[in-house]
Amino acid sequence: MTASEVQRLPFAAPPHYARRGPGRRAQLSLERSRIARTQTLGAINAVARGDGGLTHFGVLHMRSLMSTLRIRALVRQKLFGHSTQQIFSRMYHRNSWANPESVSGDGSDLEQTRIVRREVAMLIKQRAIETLFDAPCGDYYWMKALEAKLARYIGADIVPELVKANQRAYGGPTVSFVQLDICRDELPEVDLILCRNCLVHLPLDAAVDALRNFKKSGSKFLLTTTYPGVVKRNRHLFITGNWRPLDMTLAPFSLPEPVQIINEGCTEKDDYKEKSLGLWELAQVQI
């Protein structure tokens, strides 16, 4: 039986029926969906609007189109309840930071880490650091250029595909990579934990959990991002993966003054010249 013969059967829908538009009820449903999408995008644009500043944070940043699109994606993921791993995995696969050198973003290119590499190498030598836990390690782009002798380097990231790629490319007898969540998983005991450009992307409660986990590891030193004098109080982050500056000496962290401070010499247009790495003895940290 041909297709034309099937169409002529009594139970077959007439051709004009297939061409009909949606009924009144379907039209109302579509209109409600359109309005809901418009309202959601309006809310997203209220977060990433005009100058790109997150005005309810009092922080002016994310001015580029790519940054605006990244914020919209993060808000959608917040609405869908995506996990931290899902959020950062998506950012990795989409290269959301749009840096031509490193998928970890502008702060991980060779220019922005020029001072960091020099000063961290000097710190490792002066304080006789032999074991280093780097979390998050990102794509290991700038770290592989660090001129320092270590007995053991462990890079950790929450994105499994990134960890596998690093292990294939750079893994060896003294260099290894693991996939874990610094807020929840058991961490290795080392001489130095490096946590750069991480806590600033997490809500305050998650950042506190990470600090507690660092201390729980029994490691000696913590070197982490801090912005001395930039903020009067550390503000909550409503969307994981977004960004704002943190001063680690302010609540809820309330760390003592660092035993050493490294100003990174940051020149990123959406960041602050006060961006630094603070060094703390974890035995002195009460959190």
Asked whether residue 89 falls in the same domain as residue 228, the answer is no
Asked whether residue 38 falls in the same domain as residue 141, the answer is no
Identify whether 6 is part of a domain: no
Q: Is residue 112 within 8 Å of residue 106, measured between CB atoms?
A: yes
Asked whether residue 204 falls in the same domain as residue 136, the answer is yes
Asked whether residue 127 falls in the same domain as residue 53, the answer is no
pLDDT digits (tens, 9 = 90+) for 70-95: 555 555 555 555 567 666 666 655 65
Q: What is the average pLDDT across 244-273?
A: 96
Q: How many domains are there within the chain?
A: 2
- Who has greater pLDDT, 74 or 120? 120
Read off the DSSP letter of residue 105: -
Consecutive H or E run containing 278: strand 276-281
- pTM of the model as a whole: 0.71
Length of the chain, in residues: 287
Q: What is the average pLDDT across 1-17?
A: 44
Q: 154 is in which domain, residue-wise?
A: 106-284
Average pLDDT across the chain, whole number:
79
Q: What is the pLDDT of residue 266?
A: 96
Q: Is residue 201 within 8 Å of residue 181, measured between CB atoms?
A: no
Task: Decide if pLDDT at 18 tops 60.
Answer: no
Asked whether residue 168 falls in the same domain as residue 241, the answer is yes
Q: What is the pLDDT of residue 216?
A: 98
The CATH number assigned to the domain holding 139 equals 3.40.50.150
Strands 192-195 and 221-226: parallel
Asked whether residue 280 falls in the same domain as residue 249, the answer is yes
**Edge-to-edge strands, sheet with 192-195:** 175-179, 152-157, 131-134, 192-195, 221-226, 276-281, 260-263
DSSP 111-156: TTTHHHHHHHHHHHHHTT--EEEESS-TT-TTGGG-----SEEEEE
Tell me the sheet residues that pair with 177: 155
Identify whether 8 is part of a domain: no
Asked whether residue 50 falls in the same domain as residue 186, the answer is no
Give the whole-angstrom CA distance, residue 25 versus residue 65: 38
Identify whether 5 is part of a domain: no
Asked whether residue 183 falls in the same domain as residue 277, the answer is yes
Read off the DSSP letter of residue 271: S
Residue where one domain finishes, among candidates 66, 94, 122: 94
Residue where one domain finishes, among candidates 40, 59, 94: 94
Asked whether residue 188 falls in the same domain as residue 75, the answer is no
Task: Classify burial at 25, counting beta carbons within 10 Å of its beta carbon; exposed 0-12, middle 13-18, buried 19 or more.
Answer: exposed
Identify whether 30 is part of a domain: yes
Asked whether residue 175 falls in the same domain as residue 207, the answer is yes
Identify whether 124 is part of a domain: yes
C-alpha distances in Å from residue 207, one per residue of 123, 143, 167, 183, 203: 24, 23, 26, 7, 6
